């Protein structure tokens, strides 16, 4: 329908091109860190990641062999050799002998260095230098521009996972996320069932309160809870920043949305099923466990994905309720710390960022159906 109407306005190809452009703009940023995380530091510094497949051009300096390598041939003194080691994949495109003109001569062309001295450097780094008189002093210094073929490495991943502490933070993030995803589900499901199918005084007010709480900014809770945690910690002589504390905090912050989402789904289940079960003598508890929970699987999955993504990606709650020690710093916090301490080290930052986003991306792409369903059902929530 919309397609038919649209043909006259947007050209057939215009739509394809416009969407293609949008998709490129939206994926390019993520591509950038993925590609960069696979390149080594030297390549990242000298060339943009989008040139990764073209190889990178780099100007370097080297020294030819000294006078003791010279041989006399046809009345001229000759020094021969290789600038690179055997098997080096780089190719030389140009060379020179002065730092001010490092690429004065193309590879394979004979350069005149004055006083009858000539130097030729081939693309494969083989060089020949000749002179009418014997060479003296140190070997000749040469500058050259070398083209490295595309090269990818997983070295960065080894570095960040093992020595930068990202590996440890990954475990910390899992430790925070999994209980903080599971705990609210059961609590919310019971409450949602009661609010959907049981009659009791104050029900309507409770529902209104929960809808109101949906949009309460997290910022409202931070200071009182921080004080409360510090107080509890001091009273019992335990640390104020614990995993238990953050699990409960995430449970609390996720609960309004969980109840809201689950209630609207559970309220939509067919009345006949519950009534026939009740006639058969089932209590509310039986009905909930045997009928409502299994039927609610899709919405439970939706909420679980939401909560997982939200907790995994959270920085604020973790910064307030968890410490910054190695054993408590989560991935987002670690990445934030790295932005400060390793500001320009893009090989570390891009790789760490990719490790941080890979888990949510996998969850997202594999369970997108449930995610979208939850989004459509609960789009009142502020995120």
Taking CB under 8 A as the criterion, which residues in 146-165 touch other proteins?
none
Size of site (CB under 8 A) for other proteins: 125
Residue choice 113, 147, 187, 301 for contact with other proteins (CB under 8 A): 187
Residues 217-236 that bind other proteins (CB under 8 A): 217-228
Shortest CB 78 distance to other proteins, Å:
37
Q: Which is nearer to other proteins, 100 or 379 (CB)?
A: 379
CA distance 114 to 97: 11
Q: Which is nearer to other proteins, 58 or 120 (CB)?
A: 58
**Binding mask of the shown chain, residues 312 to 351, with x at each position contacting other proteins by CB under 8 A:** xxxxx--xx------x----x--xx--x------x--xx-
Binding segment for other proteins (CB under 8 A), chosen from 63-71, 129-137, 152-160, 187-195, is 187-195
**Apex 241 CA angle, 235 and 247, nearest 5:** 110
The answer to whether 343 and 335 are in contact (CB under 8 A) is no
Q: Which is nearer to other proteins, 69 or 213 (CB)?
A: 213
**Concatenated DSSP letters of 328-371:** T--HHHHHHHHHHHTTT-HHHHHHHHHHHHHHHHHHHHHSHHHH
User: Is residue 61 part of the contact set for other proteins (CB under 8 A)?
Assistant: no
Residue choice 78, 82, 128, 207 for contact with other proteins (CB under 8 A): 207
Shortest CB 104 distance to other proteins, Å:
19
Residue choice 144, 190, 321, 370 for contact with other proteins (CB under 8 A): 190
Query: What are the b/e assignments for 126-143, b being 16+ CB within 10 Å?
Result: bbebbbeeebeeebbebb
Tell how strand 141-148 and strand 91-96 pair up: antiparallel
Q: Tokens 């939206």, residue?
A: 26
Shortest CB 83 distance to other proteins, Å:
23
Q: Tokens 């609390």, residue?
A: 252
Task: Give the distance, in angstroms, between the CA of residue 323 and the centroid of all CA atoms in the same chain.
Answer: 23
């Amino acid at each position: 329908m919309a397609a038919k109407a649209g043909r006259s306005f947007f050209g057939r190809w215009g739509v394809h091109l416009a969407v293609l452009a949008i998709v490129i703009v939206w994926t390019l940023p993520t591509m950038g860190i993925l590609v960069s995380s696979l390149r080594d530091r030297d390549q990242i510094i000298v060339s943009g990641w989008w040139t990764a497949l073209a190889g990178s051009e780099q100007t370097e300096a080297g020294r030819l062999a000294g006078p003791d390598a010279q041989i006399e041939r046809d009345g001229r003194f000759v020094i021969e050799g290789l600038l690179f080691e055997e098997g080096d994949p780089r190719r030389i495109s140009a060379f020179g002998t002065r730092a001010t003109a490092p690429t004065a001569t193309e590879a394979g062309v004979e350069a005149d260095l004055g006083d009858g001295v000539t130097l030729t450097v081939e693309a494969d780094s083989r060089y020949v230098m000749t002179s009418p008189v014997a060479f003296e002093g140190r070997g000749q210094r040469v500058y050259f521009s070398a083209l490295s073929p595309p090269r990818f490495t997983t070295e960065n991943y080894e570095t960040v996972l093992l020595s930068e502490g990202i590996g440890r933070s990954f475990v910390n993030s899992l430790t925070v996320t999994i209980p903080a995803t599971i705990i609210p589900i059961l609590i919310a499901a019971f409450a949602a069932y009661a609010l959907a199918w049981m009659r009791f005084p104050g029900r309507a007010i409770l529902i209104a309160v929960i809808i109101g709480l949906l949009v309460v900014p997290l910022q409202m809770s931070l200071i009182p809870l921080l004080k409360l945690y510090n107080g509890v910690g001091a009273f019992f002589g335990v640390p104020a920043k614990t995993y238990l504390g953050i699990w409960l905090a995430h449970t609390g912050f996720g609960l309004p949305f969980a109840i809201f989402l689950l209630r609207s789904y559970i309220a939509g289940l067919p009345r006949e099923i519950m009534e026939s079960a009740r006639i058969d003598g089932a209590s509310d508890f039986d009905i909930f466990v045997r009928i409502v929970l299994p039927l609610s699987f899709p919405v439970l999955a939706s909420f679980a994905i939401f909560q997982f993504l939200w907790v995994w990606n959270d920085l604020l709650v973790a910064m307030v309720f968890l410490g910054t020690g190695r054993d408590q710093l989560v991935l987002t916090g670690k990445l934030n710390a790295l932005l400060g301490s390793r500001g320009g080290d893009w090989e570390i930052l891009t790789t760490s960022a990719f490790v941080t986003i890979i888990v949510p991306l996998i969850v997202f792409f594999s369970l997108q159906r449930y995610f979208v369903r939850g989004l459509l059902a609960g789009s009142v929530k502020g995120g």
